[in-house]
Chain A
Amino acid sequence: MENLGSLAVLLAFCLAVYAIIGSVVGRLKRNPFLILSAERAVYSVWFLVTVASGILVYAMMTGDFRYSYVAQYSNRAMPLAYKFSAWWGGQEGSLLLWSWLLATYSCVAVFTNRRKLRDVMPYVVAILMTTQTFFLILNAFVVSPFKMLSMDGAITAVPDGNGLNPLLQYPMMRIHPPTLYLGYVGMVVPFAFAMGSLITRQKGDAWIHTTRRWSLVTWLFQGVGVLMGASWAYAALGWGGYWAWDPVENASLLPWLSSTAFLHSVMMQEKKGMMKVWNAVLVSASFFLCILGTDLTRSGIVSSVHSFAQSPIGKYFTSFLALGIAATVYLILDRLDYLKSEAELESVVSRESSFLFNNLILLASCFAVLWGTLFPIISEYVSGEKISLDPAWFNRLMIPIGLFLLFLTGVGPLFAWRRTSTESLRRNFLWPGVAACALVIALIVAGIREFYPLISFGFCLFVALTVIAEFYKGARAIASKNQMNFAHAVVELTHRNTRRYGGYLVHMAIVLMFIGWTGAAFNKDLTTEVKVGQSFKIGNYELKVKEIKDGDNENYTWQSAVIDAYKNGEFLQTMEPRREFYKASRQPVGRVDIRRRMNEDLYLNFALLQDGKATIQAYVFPLVCWIWAGGAVLIFGTLIALVPSKIKLQYARTEVVGITNKHVQQVEQ
């Protein structure tokens, strides 16, 4: 079996190399058979990687402890679901998952375009398979998951494995890594199409139309993946933090920031023919940031809470990134003539300009996060001194950036193309602005004095009102014209232009998340030692320890503190935070209990039991639920934007029909 797995990976590697050569040579020699066979090779790669993954998962599920990977990340007593998710519990397996997802994406991309874009497809295949080859090299030669345990030259099994890290034995962890990887890996497809169309000197924006769905779905997976990671950290790490600017967290945020910029700036290219170079740069940057993210997560070049392991794969990633970036930069510079802008910026108060600033801010934040994450490496290289930056540095920078972005979220979509009249500014922004100011004054009166929360709540209301007003105005017009009821008109309005109104919903999701983040300014915490029967207070809550229980099962032993929660003297519910001690990995882990409500979460962690006294950490986290609610709205809004619009809107726009040298010279003058 294990030999078959290794063989499958090796064969997949050979076929991927063949697909690169076949498609490029086939395209250059105009040989359709060669091109077709290269495309078939893509399907075969998928089949082989699937076989290899299947063998690994099978070994995991059946507990074949001859595999070094299985022995490290699985054990007999672990529930079946976690035995499956141990597939991505460690280095070797998660890189195999990367390969498998990439192969799957490649198959879908090749299949859906099998009759389209014949000119470009060979290069798309070549780029997809180059990335695939890189990961298969890692799978086959560097970190093979099919390494066996041996003693005195004979393959031997250990009686039981080491078990998955208990922190990862958590329901959210079953889906968080694959979701994030779906986002990471998916970025390769838009990138491949963009480069393919540059290589073949395509005119127009075919690659953008082809990859719009890809980019959107990929972006959705990235965003949801990041949020899942945050909600896992919130519930699993025991102190209620969902974001700490840890290198691995940053690595997952970086491509999201750049692809958010990309999603916005492609609209400029579609509607105005502007920012073409910029879009090519953004899609490439997003792709390479995905690779860098995998590198940071897996190689441990920057020390992080999540990945401390030093591993040999760093230098492979660095080489791949260096070669890839060099090739992309050369390609974009060489094809600059095909990326000329077709319009110019006219006014600072215009839709174009709001896109420009949105991009500027997103890219600046992306760069800031990258800089902060890599600072230990950069400083060591420059001055020989390894210096790290703490989360306070990130917050100082990212909070103002975030608030400015939130503001743009509100005003950007209401600016007109080209230029905006003072009259329309007044009409759109007067009442939301007044309401936001009123809210800020009310909050000051209510006793909130912190600067950033005030600004944030003000902007949140402002943006929410502008979005609601857009829906209201549009739906009212439709309702009166077609004699519909209002709710029906809202659906009709959204259906007519799903991209626009789906986008508004996503903006609304961002507002909800900002409300949740702002709540963090009002967190309360308390650490206390209590005996059974004693009680303590946090905020309006009174907590009484009723008893300490313990128990045992195959996978772990546990202790729990049974705590009654009262609010203003009224009984709410019984909460039971636990401590579990995993037998196979010999690691303890706290399992918190959270009472989730829209206004605030009550969060209890059972930290320690010593001399009959329990150390309980209690927290009150206001508004945290709004972040997860925002996540749900984000998914909903993005799905709506993916539904085809009922009415194809025609935009008056200029279009490049062809480019001659003469034309190019004129533009240059």
Chain B
Amino acid sequence: MKKYGKFAALIVVILGTLLWLAVAGAGESTAYYRTIPEVRKMGTNPLKKKVRVLGDVEKDSIQRKGSEVAFVLVADNQRLNVIYSGSEPLPDTFRDGAQAVATGKLGPDGAFHAANIQAKCASKYTAKPGEFKTTQKVPGAAQSM
């Protein structure tokens, strides 16, 4: 049985290491989904976890200053100022009216500082059969690969 002991020991070591890596690193990698009022309530405690907010990009709110991009996220008539200063360029789908997911923390200036932004073109226009007029184009249904 000694050789099975060796196998068991090796397997335990490997799986243990992986489990440790998975759990130990999870803290800084997690982001909680929150609504805009919930983000406001959390305040600006810098130790708080990262959060994810979903909303629509308000029309004409996108302003680019150097590598920084500021815009307003709207969900259920609640507005949130967002500042993005990440290194990755914003996706092409990020524009007026697009749905966006911002990941980051609320800063002391009252704006939400996002480290990452995902966007998709608005899917609320997805045509329901028989609902649109022939003069109108079928606007952007969300497409995927």
Chain A residues within 8 Å of B108, by CB: none
A496 contacts the other chain (CB 8 A): no
Chain A residues whose C-beta falls within 8 Å of the C-beta of B129 in the assembled complex: 68, 147-150
The 8 A CB mask of B80-103 against A (1 = contact, 0 = none) is 000000011101110100010101
When the two chains form their complex, are residues A348 and B6 in contact, meaning their CB atoms are under 8 A apart?
A: yes
B134 touches A392 (CB 8 A): no
How many angstroms from the CA of A82 to the CA of B82 in the assembled complex?
Answer: 37
Pick out which of these stretches binds chain B: A277-285, A356-364, A467-475, A535-543: A356-364
Q: How far does the alpha carbon of A472 sit from the alpha carbon of B81 in the complex, in Å?
A: 64
Number of B interface residues, CB 8 Å? 56
Contact residues in A for B144 (Cβ distance below 8 Å): 90-91, 248, 297-298, 300, 306-309
Is B41 an interface residue when CB atoms closer than 8 A count as contact?
A: no
* A558 CB → nearest B CB, Å: 13
For residue B48, CB closer than 8 A to chain A, the reply is no
Question: Which of A156, A361, A387 is most buried by chain B, counting CB atoms within 10 A of its CB?
Answer: A387
A378 to B28, CA, bound (A): 18
Q: Are A248 and B145 in contact (CB under 8 A)?
A: yes
Cβ-closest chain B residue relative to A236: B92
Known: A72-B127, A357-B14, A360-B11. A156 touches B121 (CB 8 A): no
CA distance A368 to B26 in the complex (A): 12
Q: Does A119 contact B (CB under 8 A)?
A: no
B36 vs chain A, min Cβ distance (A): 15
Is A588 in contact with B95, judged by CB distance below 8 angstroms? yes
Would you give the 0/1 interface string for B90-129, flagging 1 where the beta carbon is closer than 8 Å to chain A?
0111010001010100000000000010101101001101
**Which residues of chain B are near A159, meaning CB under 8 Å?**
134-135
Q: Check A392–B87 contact: CB distance below 8 A.
A: no
**Per-residue A-contact encoding for B123-145, CB less than 8 Å = 1, 0 else:** 10011011001111111111111
B120 contacts across to A, CB distance below 8 A: 305, 308
Q: Most chain-A CB neighbours within 10 Å: which of B33, B123, B134, B141?
A: B141
- Which residues of A pack against B, CB within 8 Å? 68, 71-73, 89-91, 147-151, 156-162, 164-168, 173, 176-177, 229, 237-239, 241, 248, 297-298, 300, 303, 305-309, 345-348, 353, 356-357, 360-361, 364, 368, 371, 376, 385-390, 392-393, 396-397, 400-401, 404, 525, 527, 529, 584-590, 605, 607-608, 610, 615, 617
Which 7 A-B residue pairs are closest in the complex by CB-CB distance? A393-B29, A307-B144, A165-B143, A386-B33, A309-B142, A308-B120, A396-B25
Q: Which residues of B contact A (CB under 8 A)?
A: 3-4, 6-7, 10-11, 14-15, 17-18, 21-22, 25-26, 28-33, 52, 64, 66-67, 87-89, 91-93, 95, 99, 101, 103, 116, 118, 120-121, 123, 126-127, 129-130, 133-145
